[in-house]
Structure 1
Amino acid sequence: MNTRNAIAALATGLLLAACMLLPGRFASDLAVRKDGTFTFHYKGEIVLAPLADPSPSSKDEEQEEFVAAPCSNEDTGEEHDCSAQELAKQKADWAGEQEKRRADKAREQEKSRKAVASMMGGIDPADPRAAQEFADRLSRQQGWKSVVSKGKGLFEVEYEATGRLDHDFTFPTIERLPLVVPFVTVIRRKDGTVRVDAPAFMPGGSTPQMPGLGQAAGKDNAPKLDGHFTVVTDGAVLANNTDEGPQADAGGKRLDWKIGASTPAAPTALIKLAP
């Protein structure tokens, strides 16, 4: 493999890994207090894209039929009706080509399966136990209160975390699945501000679809991005990209984002904590 192909393969691998986990229908809220404490909550769906729809498309299942090519004289080039011997040779050559194509396709599928399993920390998407294995892995981690597989890569979950922002916070962080587009990040700066970003809470570029999820997208039961994200703080809201800006709330100020197919940009806010 030359350098250009190696770079392309690496870029593709990173892209596929990054969009493995996507939000579906959900409600999420974050409370950031000016004393530096926070509480984060997410309840709803997450989608493990490689398990979304692993079945091949109908086009992949179509069988190509043999079609005889015209026969001609090697010396004169004049066409003639194919003899039984010539047709038999054509069919044998065609069958050999078909077998080679099937073998090549099987090798590529096996390589892809192994690559995805590696990105998923050893979970094989072809294994019927893969969904439960992923659910068990999440359930072992602190903060995951409930993880239920609903089939085809869809999980109904509830997660909650409380802590102090003397370190950054990212959701989700999953054991042996490091390359995930964060749903929500809370970054503490040295100047006493906190930046909140939700890069996965928007359609399109930040959450491109995995093979499988793309096949499922046109189906009525396909996972859809449909959620609500709220930030409440008693600190000073210095910047945000909500439609209505900060609203009065018992906890101070509230920022609301409706997340769906028409969401123009990922939610973001900058909050000043107490000195």
Structure 2
Amino acid sequence: MFRTRTPKAAAALLIVLAAALGACLLTPGRFTSSLDLRRDGTFRFAYQGEIHMLALTKLAQMGSKPKVFEPDTCYNDEAKERPCTAEELADQKKAFEERLKQSGPKDKAEAEQMKALLGGIDPSNPQAAEEMAARLRRQAGWKSVVYKGDGLFVVDYAIAGRLDHDFVFPTVERLPLANAFVQVSRRNDGTVRIDAPGFSAQSGAGNPMGMALAGMAGAMSKAGKGGKDGADLPGNPFGPFEGTFTLTTDGAIIANNTDEGPQPGTTGPMLTWAVNPRNPAPTALVRLGN
């Protein structure tokens, strides 16, 4: 039996790309970040450096359907490539024209879905990135937001407050799927749990960035694109990231996953994590109250 390649791999890739967009819209680049927790419940958080926004144009480049007919590869019973017959080419072209005819309404619906994910910002608008930057500048804490092109923002964020509620960074107005780089959760027993799922690419429960990257790498591998770890995907939407995350406190550090453990600092114990795709997401538990 002769076979032709079907678009299943490409379809699977599109599904994973869409999932990645929903789960991991923002990723860090090169940065420094710090969190200071005091026993009286006050805190200070800062993030200076790069933030990547998953570029929808790159998703389109990796997963878009061609507008011009391109024959699929034909195989023999031994799974080896062979020339397609005239009848097979005619069938492929007919199927392509049918898909193209039906794609108009579907493409429009997908564009509206993308717009909804971005809080009403149209990603096809050349001013979309600047509109997002302006939205961030309106929010408390965003001291500077500069768009550098290709989905890259350089930011200076700093905020202080009291932990009478949980804290998450970043949050973006009208962007429901903005994923967390850092989460600070206060418990009833006076302890505070710190998690930084956005500061790791390792897959695992609770880490949408790692799961999205792993899923994309697998889909791209099946589609014949990219390496096993996703690092050489054309236009890798996550980009390189590297930085440091430092926690200082005058409370008691109960648990953490740093290599060195608590180190003496000028204002109390200090934890420092080297952030890169190879290291696990930072996590710690600190007791502030009695």
Bin the TM-score by the shorter chain: 0.7 to 0.9
What is the SS of the residue equivalent to 2:52? strand
Evaluate the alpha carbon distance shift between residue 251 and residue 215 of structure 1 in structure 2; reply closer, same or farther with a 3 A threshold. Answer: closer
One-letter identity of the residue aligned with 1:262: R
TM-score (norm 1): 0.77
One-letter identity of the residue aligned with 2:144: S
- Alignment partner, residue 70 of structure 2: 64
Identity of aligned residues (%): 44
- 1:32-59, Cα deviation, whole Å (9 max, x unpaired): 1111110000011111113462552499
- 1:247-266, Cα deviation, whole Å (9 max, x unpaired): 00001011010011211x21
Evaluate the alpha carbon distance shift between residue 218 and residue 190 of structure 1 in structure 2; reply closer, same or farther with a 3 A threshold. Answer: same
Tell whether the 8 Å contact from 1:145 to 1:157 is kept in structure 2 after alignment.
Answer: yes
Q: Give, in angstroms, the shift of residue 15 of structure 1.
A: 5.5
- Alignment partner, residue 176 of structure 2: 178
Which range is displaced more, 17-26 or 40-49? 17-26
Which of 256, 267, 270 is the matching residue for 2:285? 270
- Alignment partner, residue 161 of structure 1: 159
Spell out the pairing of 1:1-275 with structure 2 (5 A cutoff): 16-51=21-56, 53-54=58-59, 56-57=61-62, 61=66, 63-64=69-70, 68-69=86-87, 96-205=94-203, 206=207, 207=209, 208-209=212-213, 217-219=233-235, 223-263=239-279, 265-275=280-290
- 1:126-154, Cα deviation, whole Å (9 max, x unpaired): 22111111111111111101111111111
Evaluate the alpha carbon distance shift between residue 32 and residue 222 of structure 1 in structure 2; reply closer, same or farther with a 3 A threshold. Answer: closer
Evaluate the alpha carbon distance shift between residue 33 and residue 219 of structure 1 in structure 2; reply closer, same or farther with a 3 A threshold. Answer: same
What is the SS of the residue equivalent to 1:242? coil
Matched residues in 2 for 1:54 and 1:179: separation?
A: 17
What is the SS of the residue equivalent to 1:245? coil
| Pair member with larger Rg | 1
Matched residues in 2 for 1:116 and 1:220: separation?
A: 19
Matched residues in 1 for 2:18 and 2:92: separation?
A: 34
Matched residues in 2 for 1:215 and 1:194: separation?
A: 35
Tell whether the 8 Å contact from 2:256 to 2:285 is kept in structure 1 after alignment.
Answer: yes
How many residue pairs match? The answer is: 244
RMSD: 3.2
Matched residues in 1 for 2:94 and 2:44: separation?
A: 63
TM-score (norm 2): 0.74
Task: Name structure 2 gaps, 5 residues minimum.
Answer: 1-14, 72-83, 217-229
Evaluate the alpha carbon distance shift between residue 121 and residue 58 of structure 1 in structure 2; reply closer, same or farther with a 3 A threshold. Answer: closer
Q: Give, in angstroms, the shift of residue 272 of structure 1.
A: 0.9
